Homo-oligomer: A and B are copies of this chain.
Amino acid sequence: MSLDAVLARLDSDRAAALERLMAFLRIGSVSTDPAFAPEVKRAADHLAGDLSSIGFDAKVYPTTGHPMVVAKRVKGGGRPHVLFYGHYDVQPVDPLELWEHPPFEPFVANGQIRGRGAADDKGQLMTFVEAARAFIAVTGDLPIDVTCLFEGEEECGSPSLPAFLDAHADLLKADVALVCDTGMWDATTPSISTMLRGLAHEEVVIRCADRDMHSGLYGGSAWNPIRILSRIVADLHDANGRIMVPNFYDGVDEIPTQVKAMWDGLGVTEENFLGPVGLKTSSGEKGRSILEQVWSRPTAEPNGIIGGYTGEGTKTVIPAMASAKFTFRLVSRQDPKAIIRNFRAFVEARLPPDAVVEYKGGRGSAAIRLDIDDPAITVARNALADEWGTATIMAGQGGSIPIVGQFQEVLGINAVMVGFGLKDDRIHSPNEKYELTSFQKGARSWARIIAGMATR
């Protein structure tokens, strides 16, 4: 049976596969910082080159932002056709001083691949590429048609993606999407994500005086934008963790009781969920379980704040300006546009007459719920159970993968979210890692899923 041969090939080719991933990780493709744009381009070219080398028709498509990579190996004739999605851009690396090793000089230690992007998402997307490579090496072909779409702007809100999908709907046409940007339940238990929170983001810049002022001359009389901004942040939640933006909970549904029962049965507590990051208690909504808080309830978080003097020592200044970045994780039928509109009203209700506000951002995507009885999801669920030797958990997901909603809306296809990340992978943090087992058994899992898709 060819699947066994493909799995054997993946096992024998491990060292070379790892070296290919390391070469990819050495490219510092930070999409959110314009200074890294040449590296982002280099990562796109690198990936397209690799896929061409195994017989894909791969092209780099420029956009107004970072490029898209589309790689096709399509024969038609009624074979199933999957659209595989991953992203080759990575998060910024600051604070750089907390990395134990330079983020773009990856290495392997203690069964872990270390470096920025190891888990999110270069290591993950390469699990699929390695599975495809092994199939082609062993059988000379893939048993299904495959189109790959690799994005370079996932970490900065995918600004070019909607227009690209619209313009290239025919190029990207498939029966189902496969997305590899999520996690396992734990290091030995596979998981498919069927709920994803949405995401809206906004940056708020508040200005008062037309210059920084001396706190001796003006202190006691001059408006301080740090105080105004802090009031906005502090007012976002009440003492019970409820979000106070007007109409924020419009469209938030309760999860079905059987789903809640399943989640409650998973044994997740504040202690075991938050312990790995050094916390003991949850800051979340009172009366909600921890999995509800992170999977089925919306959030409002300041992700960054800056204003005034932040260097060494002291400076007696009342600054002219302060700013903060916010993200909102959305659930159910919450409307990102309404969230942003209501948040802006919330901000403006807290501005004194002498303060002016500027917004940067304001984009968003809604939450996703998939049908857990979809046939493609069943194929993946069984394939994962075969590889890992244990039942696949159908999970929620606190993060956001806006592409999944866009695949539904623009291309009219569902997405199967399979991924091999672990909770302690430190994605978006210093010292990001990906388990070698995730990388190796992830590739084997995709080989099984591809084989399953061919025979269903």
Where the two chains meet, the residues of A that have a C-beta atom closer than 8 Å to any C-beta of B are 32-34, 91-92, 94-95, 98, 155-157, 197, 199, 201, 203, 208-224, 226-227, 229-237, 270, 273-274, 277-285, 290, 293-294, 297-299, 301-319, 322-325, 327, 329, 352-354, 361, 397-400, 423, 426-430
Shortest CB distance A305–B (Å): 5
The residues of B that contact A92 with a CB separation of less than 8 Å are 309, 311, 315
Shortest CB distance A340–B (Å): 13
Residue of B nearest to A235 (CB): B234
Residue of B nearest to A278 (CB): B210
CB pair A221 B33 closer than 8 Å: no
Q: Compute how far the CA of A344 lies from the CA of B426 in the bound complex, rounded to whole angstroms.
A: 33
Q: Compute how far the CA of A426 lies from the CA of B217 in the bound complex, rounded to whole angstroms.
A: 10
The residues of B that contact A34 with a CB separation of less than 8 Å are 312
CB pair B211 A277 closer than 8 Å: yes
Residue of B nearest to A331 (CB): B220
CB pair B313 A308 closer than 8 Å: no
CB pair A211 B426 closer than 8 Å: yes
CB pair B309 A325 closer than 8 Å: yes
CB pair A33 B306 closer than 8 Å: no
Query: Could you list some 9 contacts between A and B, CB below 8 A?
Result: A34-B312, A208-B279, A217-B398, A231-B234, A234-B235, A279-B354, A281-B353, A303-B319, A305-B310
* A201, A221, A294, A329: residue with the most chain B Cβ atoms closer than 10 Å: A221
CB pair B211 A429 closer than 8 Å: yes
Seed contacts A157-B314, A220-B293, A231-B233; 15 additional CB < 8 Å A-B pairs:
A215-B329, A217-B423, A219-B299, A220-B299, A220-B329, A221-B273, A222-B283, A229-B230, A230-B231, A231-B234, A280-B354, A281-B354, A302-B308, A303-B308, A305-B305
CB pair A400 B216 closer than 8 Å: yes
CB pair A318 B305 closer than 8 Å: no
Q: Compute how far the CA of A277 lies from the CA of B285 in the bound complex, rounded to whole angstroms.
A: 42
Residue of B nearest to A32 (CB): B313
CB pair B209 A284 closer than 8 Å: no
The residues of B that contact A217 with a CB separation of less than 8 Å are 294, 398-399, 423, 427
CB pair B212 A430 closer than 8 Å: yes
Q: Compute how far the CA of A33 lies from the CA of B322 in the bound complex, rounded to whole angstroms.
A: 22
What 5 pairs between A and B have smallest CB-CB spacing? A216-B399, A210-B278, A304-B308, A32-B313, A230-B233
Shortest CB distance A219–B (Å): 4
Of B219, B285, B304, B317, the contact of A220 (CB 8 Å cutoff): B285
Q: Compute how far the CA of A199 lies from the CA of B281 in the bound complex, rounded to whole angstroms.
A: 38
CB pair B398 A218 closer than 8 Å: yes
CB pair B212 A429 closer than 8 Å: yes
Q: Compute how far the CA of A211 lies from the CA of B95 in the bound complex, rounded to whole angstroms.
A: 10
CB pair A230 B305 closer than 8 Å: yes
The residues of B that contact A216 with a CB separation of less than 8 Å are 197, 199, 329, 397-400
